[in-house]
Amino acid sequence: MVMSNSIKIKSKKISVFYGDKKALDSINLEIPEKKVTSLIGPSGCGKSTFLRCLNRMNDTIDICRIEGKILIDEKNIYEKGLDPVLLRARIGMVFQKPNPFPKSIFDNVAYGPKIHGIVNSEDELNDLVKDSLKKAGLYNEVKDRLDEPGTSLSGGQQQRLCIARAIAVSPEVILMDEPCSALDPIATAIIEELIDELAKNFTIVIVTHSMQQAARVSQQTAFFHMGNLIEVGKTEEIFSMPKQVKTQDYITGKIG
Amino acid sequence: MREHIVSTYDDDLNTLKAKLLEMGVLVERQIFQAIEVTKIINLAKAKEIQKSDDVIDSLEVEIREFATITLTKRQPLADDLRKIIISLKISSILERIGDHAANIAGRILHVKKVPENYLTDSIYQLGQLVVKNYSKALSSFDQDSHKIAQVVPTEDVTINSVYETCFREHLHLMMEDREIIGFSTQMLFIAKELERIGDLSKVISKEVIYNLKGKITR
């Protein structure tokens, strides 16, 4: 499936094994630049495993073996000699449960730019933290208490803090693994609004269990089932007239 | 039909369909009876048809409320969503067809009786075609049949041409015999109501096709 704009990420025959178990089977998927792509599918279908291939987070699991290529801007991220830490500066990640560092709000955002040497002065750092918090739609709520612990914020605010932390290092891609599943509907709406805004500058890949959320926030949707990519297409087509019976059964909650 | 994991979801969709079919059958009876009273004028029957329109109107409200609750509860997607969308649309079309049947009855209440020198049953023949095509549209919905739904627009072309013939015939009759101008005018209004029912039956069939194929055809 090719959308009209350029492709940021290409997955070429990606297979993932956990020991003897094949978790993903030869996935070919193209992810368009500065768009939101949703990965949907039942638990254990491989969508989170796929997401974690995109920033080489599966590397940290000993028994995990990966075959195939992930091309970001046509460059294979599994190439030997490529530093995964540098890669992860280009590809930010937001998790299901907000996980701020046990540090102040300011330090949570400042941490990444500091270790990656992105800023040269204290003023620059201050500006970057402020700018990142603004982009994450959190600045006005926390501007008077930047030295308070990140963990003192509400769940929705913590998640936006994690987004601010992710965007502070100027990534090109943001991966989100069920970013709203622990949030109430209002906090979810704020994050979804933010995703719309972020998609102007970043390529976003989001794993979600909410069909409605996928329909609302993404332009492309990919349906995974038992380690296979069953169908990928424009979100509006996947949710109105999917081509595969398996997709239709899943999104409408039927017994397949 | 493939079943939902939540069986009450299937119950809701089945109930919605059953309510719509109930309304559809009631409307069918209304059209049929309205056509009958154009042939054998029966004022009591015509009044009854007008009164029954209230039942159809209230069924439309009931379907709308039920569909709204189902949308809220189930947040449907794909074919489920289309089923509910077409239920809302078809119920509104049925309500309008019911109005046309009631209008026919209203025209009959104006004319009281058939003049002796009115010697044609072309309106009745038109009515027969219209009710038959409406029934086809309703069957296509009932049976989720693309095949039946496809026939309805074709039949409507015939209905339109019979309507044109009816119109010209009545103009001719009125020019020949001024005595029947009043009656024939009412009959022409009735013919127009029937022609509209034909059009709306076609719209129902297109909603059925949308439900089955996911594409809007006009």
Q: Write out residues in chain B with pLDDT < 70, as ranges.
A: 1
Is residue A201 in some structural domain?
A: yes
Would B84 be classed as within a structural domain? Answer: yes
Expressed as residue numbers, the domain containing B115 is 7-213
pLDDT of residue A2: 47
Q: What is the 3-state secondary structure (H, E, C) of A186-234?
A: HHHHHHHHHHHHHCCCCEEEEECCCHHHHHHHCCEEEEEECCEEEEEEE
Contact B77 A251 (CB under 8 A): yes
Chain B residues with CB inside 8 Å of A256's CB?
2
Would you call B191 exposed, middle or buried from its count of C-beta atoms within 10 A (0-12, 13-18, 19+)?
buried
Of the candidates B5, B81, B214, the beta carbon closest to that of A253 is on: B5
d(CA A241, CA B212): 10
- pLDDT of the residue at A61: 87
Residue A251 is nearest to which of B6, B9, B78, comparing CB atoms?
Answer: B78
User: Across the A/B interface, how many CB contacts are shorter than 8 Å?
Assistant: 39
pLDDT of residue A176: 96
pLDDT of residue B114: 87
User: Mutate which of B12, B77, B209 to test chain A, going by most A C-beta atoms within 10 A?
Assistant: B77
Contacts 24+ apart (CB under 8 A), B139-142: B140/B204, B140/B205, B140/B208, B141/B20, B141/B21, B141/B24, B141/B86, B141/B90, B141/B204, B141/B207, B141/B208, B142/B21, B142/B24
Grouped pLDDT means (10 residues each) for chain A, 256 residues: 75 95 96 98 95 91 93 94 88 93 96 90 95 93 96 94 94 95 89 93 96 96 97 96 95 86
Residue B38 lies in a domain: yes
Distance from CA of B4 to the nearest CA of A (A): 4
Torsional class of A26: left (φ above 0), alpha (ψ -120 to 50), beta (otherwise): left
Would A206 be classed as within a structural domain? Answer: yes
Per-residue confidence (pLDDT) for residue B1, from 0 to 100: 65
Q: How far is CA B18 from CA A25, B10, B23, B78, B116, in A?
A: 44, 12, 9, 21, 45
| B93 within a domain of the structure (yes/no) | yes
CATH number at residue B199: 1.20.58.220
Q: Does B55 touch chain A (CB under 8 A)?
A: no
Closest CA to A219 of A32, A7, A51: A32
DSSP label at residue B196: H
Is-contact B137 B201, C-beta < 8 A?
yes
Q: Where in the sequence is the domain holding A49, given as residue range(s)? A: 7-252
Rg, C-alpha atoms of chain B: 19
Q: 59-118 in B: which are within 8 Å (CB) of A?
A: 75-82
Q: How many domains does chain A have?
A: 1
**How far is Cα B39 from Cα B45, in angstroms, rounded to an integer?**
12
Is A236 part of any domain? yes
Confirm or reject contact between B214 and chain A (CB < 8 A): yes
pLDDT for the residue A256: 62
Domain assignment present for residue A1? The answer is no
Question: Chain B: nearest CA to A40, how far in angstroms?
Answer: 14
CB of B43 closer than 8 Å to CB of B21 = no
What does the pLDDT read at residue B118? 86
pLDDT value, residue B192: 98
Structural domain contains residue A2: no
Do the chains contact at B77 and A255, CB–CB below 8 Å? no
Taking the CA of residue A248 and the nearest CA in chain B, the distance in Å comes to 7
* CATH number for position A207: 3.40.50.300
B218 is a domain residue: no
Q: Identify which of B6, B75, B78 has the shortest CB distance to residue A212.
A: B75
B58 domain residue, yes or no: yes
Rounded to a whole number, what is the largest CA-CA distance in chain B? 69
Q: How many domains does chain B have?
A: 1
CA distance A207 to A198: 16
pLDDT at residue number A182: 86
